[in-house]
A = this chain, B = another copy of it.
Amino acid sequence: MGNRVAIVGIGHSKFGKRNDVSLNELAWEAIKAALDDSGLSQKDISFMSVGNFGYWSEEILPAVTVAEYAGIKCGSLRTEAACSSGSAALKIAYDHITSGSGKIAMAMGLEKMYNSPNSTIIELIGRAGNYFWEFENFGLTFPGYYALYATRYLHDFGYSEEDLCEAPVKAHHYGSKNKYAQFQKEITVEECMKSKYVARPLKIYDSSPITDGAAAVILASEDIARKINDTPVYIKGLGNATGSSYLGKRDDFTGLEAGRRAAEIAYKSAGISDPKNSFDLLEVHDCFSIAEVMAYEDLGIASKGKGLNMLKEHQTYHDGKFPVNPDGGLKAKGHPIGATGISQAVEITKQLRNEADPGRQVSINRGMALQHNIGGTGHYAYVTIYSRGD
């Protein structure tokens, strides 16, 4: 590794239906907050990567229009790694600094999904699976893909749909405590069970929503990080992997192989041998209830088949043994595709700085946290490990 890199500024827009702002204005909410948080100005940024899926956008060169609107003139690019586009943007900003290409970089993510009619969104996201075979021939869209995993998981390990509803109950609990979250209302298992099926056994409440939102982080090299911010949060390890787009080729429907490979690489790069006893919190990719459960297992926090039990026992609440998604996760905070990976990094930084809202701030003991961000149904996987101390 070259220079170590820290997050020295974070910014986050309100997530939700944001017809009140343009794409550029939405981005600016996050960028301005990150600049203010760091005390830096636009001219300090030496590179900007923008995570954006954007097939539904009014602007098809978002990196350019956002940079211009925000007064940023350094080099820029847009990254797309499906729902992990934000984490891909983060990796680029990280490598830009560790390589010595620059000292300070911004990674931001944004998405305005309400730009499109719902049916178009569902088609476009569905096409991001295996287009020719599974989408075109079988009509599978994303809820359908994850429903196959949920069916297999519930069957193999003897859980019920009620059990799976524990995931959105937790998510909405924390959404209710996060002012940036799209949904700020608690729900019960009963309400979840009564909600409409999207793709059996997954119901509306098992599914992350259509969301508009933006998030930004500013990264700096170690030698200047502490001058910018008293509590820099370091990136300690990264792992990433690419998986098959074709579910028919997968061996296993109770976990995501690319997620496991990415975690293994991240653990190796951060020197972590015991993931169960390493982190104060995890941010995981809960695009559907089943995805959160599989993440516990793919990351080695839960044994195979025990992930859902861990959720039922509230072990992954903010005051449990393994706090997960104390911001409400993709489910309740919202899932603006390109912004999600950056939003996770913002939450982790906030938590490791001890700056999260009461009722959702986790206890910081080890000073380490993990981010898990999946693109597609395990097409892309990005795992990033953060450390407050060093």
Contacts and interface: CB of A to CB of B under 8 A. Distances in A.
A74 B242 contact: yes
Copy number in the complex reads: 2
Contact of A95 (B99, B240, B376): B99
Given A100-B2, A131-B58, A376 B64 contact: yes
A135 to B, nearest CB: 10
Interface in A42-89: 47-48, 55, 58-61, 63-65, 67-68, 72-82, 85, 88
Given A82-B61, A99-B95, A101-B95, A246 B68 contact: yes
A21 B3 CA distance: 43
A277 B295 CA distance: 56
Contacts of A238: 101
Interface string A84-123: 0100100110111111110000000000000000000000
B382 A75 contact: yes
Contact of A244 (B68, B124, B261): B68
A interface, size bucket? 35 or more
Contacts of A55: 55, 60
Contacts of A76: 81, 240, 242, 380
A75 B92 CA distance: 12
Contacts of A241: 73-75
B124 A47 contact: no
A379 B50 CA distance: 15
Contacts of A246: 68
A104 to B, nearest CB: 15
A101 to B, nearest CB: 6
Nearest to A22: B132
A3 B100 CA distance: 10
Contacts of A165: none
A82 B99 contact: no
Nearest to A82: B61
5 A-B pairs closest in CB distance: A75-B240, A98-B99, A95-B95, A77-B88, A2-B2
A195 to B, nearest CB: 29
Main secondary structure of the interface of A (DSSP, over half): mixed
A128 interface: yes
A1 B99 contact: yes
Given A68-B246, A240-B47, A242-B72, A61 B379 contact: yes
Given A72-B242, A79-B78, A98 B60 contact: no
Contacts of A100: 1-2, 98
A245 interface: yes
Contacts of A64: 82, 242-243, 245, 375-376, 379-380
Contacts of A80: 61, 63, 77-80
Given A76-B81, A76-B242, 15 more contacts: A55-B60, A61-B245, A64-B242, A64-B245, A68-B245, A73-B243, A74-B240, A75-B239, A78-B81, A79-B79, A79-B80, A80-B80, A95-B98, A97-B99, A98-B98
B65 A245 contact: yes
Nearest to A132: B58
25 contacts: A2-B98, A58-B132, A60-B124, A60-B131, A61-B80, A61-B82, A61-B128, A63-B81, A63-B380, A68-B245, A68-B246, A73-B261, A74-B241, A74-B242, A75-B91, A75-B241, A75-B262, A76-B240, A77-B80, A77-B91, A79-B79, A79-B80, A97-B99, A98-B98, A98-B100
